[in-house]
Amino acid sequence: MVDELGRLATREYDVTLPDGTQGRLAFALCDLLGDNALAQHARRRQAAAFGLLSFAGLPDAPASTLLWVRTREGMEMTTANADDQPSGELQRLVARYFIVFFDEIKDLVPELASLPFHLKDGS
């Protein structure tokens, strides 16, 4: 799947928070070589990869899709439209699913599955 944002792969996961709340996470891997503002931003950040993450049905989640950028140093997530970052509990859930997503797309970007995973504070 390729579109104007250069989505190369997408995955959706039905998830359950510890309190039983159910929702969905939708991940997209985008083309780092794309000719768009998001790809240019990711290249300036010296990204190994970048993409989009959206949430459905999850409390304390950003209302708008957020941009993720994976550098060698860690993961950066940028919200849009003055959204707050996901809550701590939701960030932990998202981190687990990023690991699953990166493993599932390792044929497209092999180094994603091998980079250590942690979220950068203040991103």
- Give per-residue pLDDT as tens, 61-94: 999 999 999 998 888 899 988 888 888 889 889 9
pLDDT (0 to 100) of residue 121: 46
Does a structural domain hold residue 25?
A: yes
Question: What's the domain count of the chain?
Answer: 1
Domain presence at residue 101: yes
Structure letter (DSSP) for residue 112? H
Indicate the pairing of strand 66-70 with strand 7-16. Answer: unpaired
How large a percentage of the chain has pLDDT more than 90? 59
In a domain, 43, yes or no: yes
Domain of residue 52 covers 7-114
Residue 122 within a domain: no
Residue 1 domain-assigned? no
pLDDT at site 82: 84
* Residue 38 within a domain: yes
Neighbours of 71 (CB within 10 A): 16
For residues 11-26, average pLDDT: 94
